[in-house]
Structures are given as C-alpha cells and as structure tokens.
Structure 1
C-alpha cells in the first residue's frame, strides 16, 4: 500500500505518520511541492489507453506510478525564484496552477482520499459550515459575517450586557521582524475597541456573542470512529476565550459527546463528503453543546500528547492502511499499538531540513508600513 502525503517540510505530524506506516510495512511519500521548481521536477505522462502516470523527482522523492491513498494534509504551492522577471513570474504562477489542478484532477480518479479535494474545498468555507451546521440541527450561536461598520456596531450593542467576540476567517500572522510574529486569535471586542469605520470596512470579520463555558470539546472523526477530548479552558488564565493561546497548559482528557450531537456531526460530514474532520464545541454550564467550527484537516496528534489514553495515531494509520471510512479498528491496550511518542522525537529532529524549500509563512503585512503602504 502506497500513501501520498502532500505537505510541508516542517510538518512533524506528517513525518510521524509516515514513519509509523513504515513500521507496518507500508510506503508513505511525503510530497513537498514547495520544492518545485528549483529542487524538484514534475511530469505527467499519457501513453496509449493506460492511466496518466505521475513522476516526481527531487530531494527525498523519487516516485513514478499510482497511489492507493492520498492524505491531503497540507498541500503547498511551488516557490518560484525571487529573481524572476515580474512578467515571467506571473506567467509561471499561472502555468504551475494549471498543471497542479490537472494533477489533482488526475489523482482524484483513483484511490482513497482523506479528504476528497472537492469536499475539502467546500468544508473550508466558514459561511458554508455555519449554514450546514444549522441545517443538521447543531446549536449555532447568533453570528454576523460583515465589513459593514454600522451592522457590526449594532450587533455589539444588541449583545450587551453579553460581550461580543471577533474571529478571523483564517489563521493569520504579522511579521514583527527578528523572527518574531504576532498571531491573531479569537478576541473579545466592544465598540470602544473598534477602529474607525474607514478601517473597519476594509476586511470582513466573524462576530458572535461570548457564551458562558463550562468546558470545551475537540471532537475528531476518523471515518466511523470518533475521539472526544474535553478541554478545561476555563481553569487557565488567558485560555478562557481561545484555548489555543495556552494549549500546553490546559487540562485535556477523554470527554463525552451526546449521541444526538454526534449524529448531527456525522450528518454534517456527509453533507460535505468528509471522511476526516475535527469539530470544536463550547459546552455551557447548562450542558448545551454549541458548534463553533469544523476543520476538515485539523491537527489531532497533539491530543495524544496531552491525553495518551487516546490512541489517535494508531487509529489514523489504520484508516490510511485500510483505505475506507468503515475501517476495522479496536483501541490497543496501554503501551501497545502505534504511539505518537515513539515517533515524535525523530519527526521533530528532521522537521528543519535546509535541503528543502520552506513554504512561505502566511504573513499579512510587516508590522510597520513600508513604501507606498505608508502613504
């Protein structure tokens, strides 16, 4: 069995999964598309009536043929030389986008995908998530998606005395220089904290009432199997609004998901065509389970680090090996089966490899305006 894992060179979790699969006698091909075109070549050939053949040649990769399974982990784009003429650069970007679309379309016709590319695209949309969650019966908080300053201010006033939280549509960072970065997390906002209307209207945001929390849940679906992690976000200063700020400090243990909520989650996955997904819920003091979002390719092995009784690596490898959502799996006994701790150190050690072209970080803008931006 051969698994293709499109990802980034510093992806510790992908490296751990690849090593774990190797111990089971299966081959995993880590594809760092950011190595294209300077460190890697790609060919797609058609001959006679046979299926198209994909060939990848470069640092740590020498592949020709088909794959049984594609784990669409963290696909990257080619990184072109900065010295290219601007017009040539634009042309090359268009050409690479076209050929990679053809590669994905060709690969998608065979094998088992986690997740199917079309499903992944649909599920990445926050508006689509909220609409679908409401349709399947999940409890969704009142939500405003807007760049209209008046609508935003009215929404905040209508929530009073309850506070309002702001969330971005995508994880973002600002480059502060000297290796430092500022990250954008979920935050409490009020009218006094808002910028001027001219600035507020420049980008849309997600606004919701701040809900009282007893705890939170991170629910990971792998085909027919589900893992529920209870996250004690309210017991740690700084984690109350967004536990990601203090992930390592927050108590994490096996949790419980009501049967009706689980059934609604499975209906949402069917709506999008997903075979893997991570759901986030608030559990209120009244034990209401409020849907926040679903991440079709969320991180999950960190849960096993914090709660070793959850054998997520073992289950996920079986999903890949068997290549079907109804894969057969039984939780191994303690200290048996594939454990993330047994592969983590090696994966971390090899995460920084200067032979590969690193995928550019998603920085929005330098913290200080430069050039025309200053005007």
Structure 2
C-alpha cells in the first residue's frame, strides 16, 4: 500500500484537502508536526544492508520508515527545546533533533522514497539572487535589480531607473516578535525621492531594489510536478494593492490565465533547474504583453488561490504527484 508522510505544523489549511485526495486514491497518510520531535514523537532507526529500517511513533500513528513511498515537505517547523538550558545547550539540542530527523528522512531517497521537494533544493531555490539569474538564463525577462548596502549605489540606481524603484525583502519578508507572538509583514514598497535625503540606514543590512515595471495584470503561477496552473490577479484598480497585491488580495478579482507555450516551457526549465516538484511564483504581464519574472517561492502557500478559483485543482494535483510520482513528477 502506498504511504505518504506529510511534514508540517499545526493549523495548516493546505493539509486536509490533500489528505482527503490521497485517501480517495487509496493511499495511507501519516502526518508529523516536526516541531513536536523529539518531545512528543519517537524515532528508532538502524541502517543495514538494505538501507534504513525503523519507525516513527507520533500521536496514534506508527510509521514504518521503509513503508514510505512519498514525503511532502509541506510546512515543517523546527523544534524549540523547553527546559532549563543555556542558550548554547538549547541551540545544540534543537540542531541535533533537526539534523537527525531530516537527515534520516532524506536518506530514504536512496530507497526510492519520493519527495516534494528535497530540503536542499528548497533552501537553494529560496535565494532571490539565484532565482533571478536562473530565470534570465532560461529566457524569462527579469527586472533591473540592485542588491547593496551602499547608499550611493541606491541613489545612482534611483536615477538610472528615473525614480521608478521598489524595495523588497531579500528573505522571508517578515519580522517575528517571539515575546508577543506576532509577525509583521514587510511588503514591497515604492521608493520616493524624499527617501534619498537620508540613506544612512542602507548601511545596516543588504537591500534589494528593483525597477518598477508597469503591470497590466499580475500572475501567480503554481507548478506541481508536471502540472502548471496560472491565475490572473487584477491588482491595478486598487491603490492599496497596486504595488504589492498582498496588501489587499481579498478584495481583488482573479481569473484563469492561459500561458503561452514558450513561457510555460521556460517556467518548467526554471523549476527543473532547482530540482523542485512544487513552486509558486509571481510574474507580471506588462501593458505591452511581455511576461516578467519577479520571484519564486519553493514552498509557498497556494490553497488560498483554489478557494478563489475552484477550477484550479491544486490540492488534487498535489495528491496526484504524491500518490503517483512516476506518472506526475517532473
């Protein structure tokens, strides 16, 4: 019997519809909230001539490692050690747990366990500078971009782009306050001329600036194995969402979009370059009809889009590739 393990966290809205789809396909499903290992989960594994054998025990689930046919790296979360430890001890305990669990599960690839997607592939694909290089390499236009901590370079880039510049986060785009348990989002914002009057803060860290490209529509493209889906996001009528549609995504209109064959082929080349089985990416369609790549999320949220466009069968596509990787994988 096929057996899929989902690595995620609590309150993940993406997991239930995929679990339902897998069970409908006759697949056994196990779920591990990775932050619960090792305190609430047991791992026993040994390596022999046939590879790793053993099991994970979590909640009411007994998960034989050798039974796993697919693993979905959905939304894993690192363990945070409780107890009276020094900061160094705490970091050591947490890293040992993460390396042991993920290393063990990654090793099952050599026993023909399929992953969506491999840990190292996700981490590599999360590098924005590499994303832009790779997109350009496969033939997709990318915006003029500056990564710098030099105030003079920012001023020069602003002048070069005739004042049409936006500032983005290089990494996750969130600031977490552990004490208050809140998360602040860093949205893409337009750089105004009066910002140039005081650029001393540019020296604090790296900054990611791009030319602002006029949009006819924005596109969210989701690749799941060999299946590709594209949705139009009509953000330009909204002042709030014009620069970054996430500021007002719930009030926007969405439509299915048919990508040209050449763009589809280039997107698959990009996803293949990073060795991913899933990717969610943002593009722009300019008023002149040109497609421009913005960024790629190798482990992003997608189910919110299916809720707005039910004809995008994203959860079903994920169930397809996890249940039948030989048929649906890239």
Q: Note the C-alpha offset of 1:62.
A: 2.7
Does residue 1:76 correspond to 2:96, yes or no?
no
CA distance in 1, matches of 2:36, 2:327: 32
Distance in 2, Cα, partners of 1:195 & 1:44: 60
TM-score by length of 1: 0.80
- Specify whether residues 157 and 114 from structure 1 end up closer, same or farther in structure 2 by C-alpha distance, changes over 3 A only: same
Alignment partners' CA distance in 2, 1:179 and 1:90: 20
Preserved contact between residue 108 and residue 116 of structure 1 (Cα < 8 Å): no
Specify whether residues 16 and 83 from structure 1 end up closer, same or farther in structure 2 by C-alpha distance, changes over 3 A only: farther
CA RMSD of aligned residues (A): 2.2
For the residue of structure 2 that corresponds to 1:234, the secondary structure is coil
> What displacement does 1:146 show?
1.4
1:141-164 per-position Cα deviation (integer Å, ceiling 9, x unaligned) = 10011112221221112222x421
Q: Aligned to 2:208, what secondary structure does the other structure show? A: strand
Report SS of the residue matched to 1:201: helix
**Which structure is higher in strand share?**
2
Give the direction of change, closer, same or farther, for the CA distance of 1:54–1:11 in structure 2 (3 Å limit): farther
Shift of 1:32: 0.9
Provide, for residues 92-117 of structure 1, a one-character-per-residue CA deviation record: whole Å limited to 9, x for no partner.
13422432353144123221111233
Alpha-carbon displacement from aligned partner over 1:115-155 (angstroms, at most 9, x marks no partner): 23332222111111111111111011100111122212211
CA deviations on 1:201-230 (whole Å, 9 max, x unpaired) are 222121011111110111112222211111
Aligned to 2:140: 138
Could you say which residue in structure 1 is the equivalent of 2:216? 214
Q: Distance in 2 between matches of 1:24 and 1:325?
A: 14
Question: Closer, same or farther in 2 for the Cα pair 1:54/1:146, shift >3 Å?
Answer: farther
Per the alignment, residue 64 of structure 2 pairs with 64
Runs of 4+ in 1 over 6 A off after TM superposition: 176-179
Larger displacement relative to structure 2 (138-147 or 97-106): 97-106
Residue pairs, 1:319-338, within 5 angstroms? 319-324=321-326, 326=328
Whether the 8 Å CA contact 1:166–1:205 is kept in 2: the answer is yes
1:171 to 1:312, Cα distance in 2 relative to 1, 3 A: same
Does residue 16 of structure 2 align to residue 18 of structure 1?
A: no
Uncovered stretches (5+) of structure 2, i.e. residues with no partner: none
- For 2:322 and 2:33, the matched residues in 1 are separated by 19
Q: TM-score, normalised by structure 2?
A: 0.90
Deviations 1:179-217 (A, max 9, x none): 654311111113523695443222212101111111011
